[in-house]
Structure 1
Amino acid sequence: MDVDRSVTHPPAGAVQRPVARWRNGRVDEHIDCVAEEVPVAVVCNSRHFAVMMATPTDLDDFALGFALSEGLIAVPAELLALHAQTQIEGVELHLTLPPERAAALVRRERSLEGRSGCGICGSRHLEDLLRVPPRVTASPRITGAALDAALAQLADHQSLAAATGATHAAAWADDRGRIHLLREDVGRHNALDKLIGALHRDDRSLDAGFAIVTSRASYEIAMKAASAGIAVLAAISAPTALAISLADSAGLTLIGFARPGGCAVYTHADRYAGQPAELREAPYPAPPARQPGDDA
Structure 2
Amino acid sequence: MPSTQFSLSVRTQPSRESATPRPETPGQARELVRGTSLEYYCDGSLHGRTAMVAVEETLRITVSGLEDILLSRTPGDDAHLIAGHLFSLGLIRTPADILGMAFPDNDPGRAVVRLRPVKSRRGLGPLPDGPRIDPERIFRLRDRFEQRQRLYHSTRATHAAALFRADGELLAYGEDVSRHCAFDKAVGLALENRLLAGVEIAMLTSRLASDLADKAATARIPVLCGFSAATSAGMELAEKHGITLIGRISAHGFTVYANGWRLRP
Q: TM-score, normalised by structure 2?
A: 0.79
Deviations 1:162-182 (A, max 9, x none): 111100110122323354432
Change (3 A) 1:205 1:98: closer
CA contact (8 A) 2:60 2:69 kept: yes
5+ long unaligned stretches in structure 1: 1-10, 105-130, 275-296
Aligned-partner Cα distance in 2 for 1:76–1:268: 31
Spell out, residue by residue over 1:195-227, the C-alpha distance to the aligned partner (whole angstroms, 9 max, x if none).
Answer: 111111222254463110001101100000110
| Inter-partner Cα distance in structure 2 for 1:214 and 1:85 | 33
Q: Please give the alpha-carbon distance, in whole angstroms, between the structure 2 residues aligned to 1:182 and 1:245.
A: 26
Q: How many angstroms apart in 1 are the aligned matches of 2:43 and 2:175?
A: 33
Aligned twin of 1:199: 190
Structure-to-structure mapping, 1:37-48, within 5 angstroms: 37-45=56-64, 47-48=66-67
Give the 3 Å change call, closer, same or farther, for CA 220–178 of structure 1 in structure 2.
same
Are 2:91 and 1:72 aligned? yes
Same amino acid, percent of matched pairs = 28
1:6-17 equivalence runs, <5 A: 12-17=31-36
Contact 1:253 1:271 survives alignment (8 Å): yes
- The residue number in structure 1 matching 2:50 is 31
Is contact 1:55–1:186 with CA below 8 Å preserved after alignment?
yes
Among candidates 233, 245, 258, match of residue 254 of structure 1: 245
- Tell whether the 8 Å contact from 1:68 to 1:76 is kept in structure 2 after alignment: no
Name the SS of the counterpart of 2:264 in structure 1.
strand
Counterpart CA distance in 1 for 2:225 and 2:134 is 12
Q: Which residue does 2:69 correspond to in 1?
A: 50
1:134 touches 1:227 (CA, 8 Å); kept in 2?
Answer: no
| Secondary structure, counterpart of 2:103 in structure 1 | strand
**CA spacing shift, 1:84–1:145, aligned 2, 3 Å:** farther
Q: Distance in 2 between matches of 1:180 and 1:132?
A: 27
Within the candidate set 59, 81, 85, 1:62 is matched to 81
With over 3 angstroms needed to count, the CA separation of the structure-2 counterparts of 1:186 and 1:208, relative to structure 1, is closer
Q: In structure 2, what is the Cα distance between the partners aligned to 1:208 and 1:40?
A: 27
Alignment partner of 1:20 is 2:39: yes
Q: How big is each residue's C-alpha offset from its partner over 1:23-70, in whole Å with a ceiling of 9 and x where there is no partner?
A: 213443332211111111121127443212111121111111001111
Q: For structure 1, which segment, 210-219 or 168-177, has the greater mean C-alpha deviation from structure 2 after superposition? A: 168-177
Look up the equivalent residue of 1:243 and give its one-letter code: G
Given that 1:138 and 1:207 are in contact with CA atoms closer than 8 Å, whether structure 2 keeps it comes out as: no
Distance 1:197 1:158 in 2: 18
TM-score (norm 1): 0.71
SS of the residue corresponding to residue 249 of structure 2 reads strand
CA contact (8 A) 1:140 1:208 kept: no
1:189 aligns with 2:180: yes
Q: 2:101 aligns with which of 82, 90, 99?
A: 82
Note the aligned Cα RMSD (angstroms): 2.5
Describe the SS at the equivalent of 1:265.
strand
Equivalent positions of 1:150-161 (< 5 A) are 150-161=141-152
- After superposition, what is the alpha-carbon deviation per residue over 1:45-100, rounded to whole angstroms, capped at 9, x for unaligned? 27443212111121111111001111112333212222234788x71122111246
Q: Can you list the C-alpha shifts for 1:174-195, whole angstroms capped at 9, x where unaligned?
A: 3233544321111111111111
| Structure 1, 41-50 or 143-152: larger mean CA deviation | 41-50
Distance of aligned partners of 1:252 and 1:187 in 2 relative to their CA distance in 1, 3 Å threshold: same
